[in-house]
Structure 1
Amino acid sequence: MPVDMSFFAALLVGFFGGVHCIGMCGGIVGALTFGLPAERRERFSQLIPYLLAYNLARISAYVLAGALAGLIGSLGLSLVPLQHTQLILLIIAGGFMVLMGLYVGGWWFGLTRIERLGSRLWRWIEPIGRRFMPVKTPRQALLLGLVWGWLPCGLVYSVLIWALSAGSAAQGALLLLGFGLGTLPNLLAMGTFAAQIAAFTRQPTVRWLAGAAVTGFGLYTIGSAIWNIQVG
C-alpha cells in the first residue's frame, strides 16, 4: 500500500478515534494543567505552550515506537528467507486496518482489549511520569508527554502492528506520525472548540464514512497482497 495512502488512513484513525483518545488521555491533560496557577489555566495563550510541549513529546514517542516497529519488520524480512513474507505481513496489516475501520465507524470495539497487552509494561513506566507532576514548566510538560506517550492504547498498538509491514524505520515512523497528528486536534483543543470537534466526530454519518474509508484501505491492502501472491 502506498505510503501516502497509509499516512492518510492513519490520520483518519487518529482523528476519528479521538473520542477514545479523550477518554484515555483527557484526565492526563487535566492533571498536566492542575499544578499551573489559575491565571495560566484560564488564559489559553498562556496554556498553549504546555499543551504543545505535552503533545509534541507524546507524538514523538509514537514516532519512535513506529520507527522501531518498522525497523523490526524490515529486519525480519531480511532474515526470513520466505518469498511472500512481506505480502503476508501486508495481509495482517490490512486486517488490522479493517478492525480499526470497524472501530472508527462504531461497529466493533474489540481493539480496546489489546490495551491489556501493555498493562504490565505500564506498571514500570507510569511511576516515572509521576515525578514530573504537578507540571509547572513547559519542560516538565515535555518530559511528561514522553512518558505518557507509552500509555497502553489499543489504537496505538494496532497502528504499531501495521507499522511492522511498513518496510523500513522511516516509513514506520511516518505511519505513527500520521496517527499522532490525527489525535492532536481532540487533545489540543480546549473549551467550545473541543466540544465542536467532539460533536463532529460523534456524528454517525461522519464516523461511518471515515470507518468505511479506513476499512476500504484495509481491504485494498489485503486484496493487493493476495493478488501479488497469486501472480508471483
Structure 2
Amino acid sequence: MSGLNLLPVFAVGLAGSVHCVGMCGGIVGALSAATPARARTIPIVPAATALPAASALDGALRVLGYNTGRIGSYMLAGALAGGLANGAASLAHIARWQGIAYVLANAMLVALGLYLMNAWHGLARVEAAGNVLWRRVQPAMKYLVPMDTLPKAVALGGLWGWVPCGMVYSVLLTALLSGSAASGAAVMLAFGLGTLPMLLALGLAGARIRQAMQRPIVRAACGMLVLGFGVLGMIRHASGLPHGWLDALCVTVPL
C-alpha cells in the first residue's frame, strides 16, 4: 500500500476525530473517580495545566506521550490484522473475495460517516462486541492514575487504544485487507496521525475545543466527508474505474 493510498485513511482520521472529542469528554469523569482529589481534573487526554506544579512543557510532553502510546496500540492492532489476512494468502488472489472486501471496507466508511453525523448508530453494536477485550484490559488502568509522569502517559495511551470504538474498527477493516502486517500497521499509523491534531488541541485547550467540535454542523460536515470517501469507493468499484489519481480519494485494497 503506497503513501498515496494512505491519504484517505489520514483524512478519515482527521475528520473522524470529532468523535474522539466527544468520547474523551465522557472519559474525564470515569478516570476522576479513580484519581486522588488533587488530580481530579486530569482527563484521559491530559491538559497542560492539569497539575499546578507541572510546567506547560511537562504537560505537553504527557499529551504527546499519551498519544504516542495510543497510536502505537493502533499500529499493533493493524499489524495483527494485516498479518492475519496475510496468513490467509490463498484467498488473496480470488477476484470475488477482493471485490467483496473492497465493498465492505467502503461500506464501513459509509457507516462511520452516518455515525459521525448522528444519523445511524449501527457501529455502536460493533463497539459493544469490543467490550469483551476491554474488560480484560481496563483493570490495568488503576495503576496509571494519576497520570503524573511521562511513562504513565505512554502506558495509559497504549491501554486506551484498545477502548471499543466503531471508528477505529472501521479503519481496522482496511488494515485487515492491506495484505501484510507492515501495511496494516501503516494504515493504522496514518489513521492515528489523522486523529493527532485534534487530540493534541484537546489536551492543550480542553473544554473550549470539546465544545466547539461537538456542534452538530461540525459533526455533520466531518461525517459527510467520511461518507463521501465510502460512496466514491463503491461507485468506483461498481463502474470499474481504473486505479490512478482516484487512489488519493479512495481507500483501496491490494489487487
What TM bracket, shorter-length normalisation? 0.7 to 0.9
Comparing 87-96 and 189-198, the one that deviates more: 189-198
TM-score (norm 2): 0.74
Distance change >3 Å, CA 10–CA 26, structure 1 → 2:
farther
Indicate which of 21, 30, 37 corresponds to 2:43.
30
Comparing 57-66 and 153-162, the one that deviates more: 153-162
Q: Which runs of 5+ in 2 are unaligned?
A: 32-41, 242-255
1:220 Cα deviation from its structure 2 partner: 1.9
1:91 Cα deviation from its structure 2 partner: 0.6
In the TM superposition, what whole-angstrom CA distance separates every residue of 1:38-64 from its partner, at most 9, and x where no partner exists? 312xx4323111121111111110111
CA distance in 1, matches of 2:147, 2:233: 43
Partner of 2:162: 150
1:210 Cα deviation from its structure 2 partner: 2.3
CA distance in 1, matches of 2:190, 2:28: 20
Partner of 1:124: 136
Secondary structure at the aligned position of 2:162 is classed as coil
Partner of 2:36: none
> Is 2:111 the counterpart of 1:99?
yes
CA contact (8 A) 1:32 1:134 kept: no
Distance change >3 Å, CA 5–CA 182, structure 1 → 2:
closer
Partner of 1:79: 90
| Structure with greater helix percent | 1
1:89 Cα deviation from its structure 2 partner: 0.7
1:95 Cα deviation from its structure 2 partner: 0.5
Q: Which runs of 5+ in 1 are unaligned?
A: none
In the TM superposition, what whole-angstrom CA distance separates every residue of 1:65-107 from its partner, at most 9, and x where no partner exists? 112222223333x222632212211111011000011122232
Indicate which of 163, 186, 190 corresponds to 1:178.
190
CA contact (8 A) 1:57 1:145 kept: yes
Percent of aligned pairs with the same residue? Answer: 37
Distance change >3 Å, CA 24–CA 150, structure 1 → 2:
farther
CA distance in 1, matches of 2:117, 2:240: 29
CA distance in 1, matches of 2:226, 2:45: 32
Distance change >3 Å, CA 137–CA 16, structure 1 → 2:
closer
CA distance in 2, matches of 1:90, 1:228: 12
CA RMSD of aligned residues (A): 3.0
Distance change >3 Å, CA 227–CA 6, structure 1 → 2:
same
Secondary structure at the aligned position of 2:144 is classed as coil
Taking the TM superposition and a 5 Å limit, the aligned residue runs for 1:1-232 are: 3-23=5-25, 25-27=27-29, 28=31, 30=43, 38-40=52-54, 43-76=55-88, 78-80=89-91, 82-190=94-202, 193-228=205-240
Aligned residues: 225
Secondary structure at the aligned position of 2:43 is classed as helix
1:119 Cα deviation from its structure 2 partner: 1.2
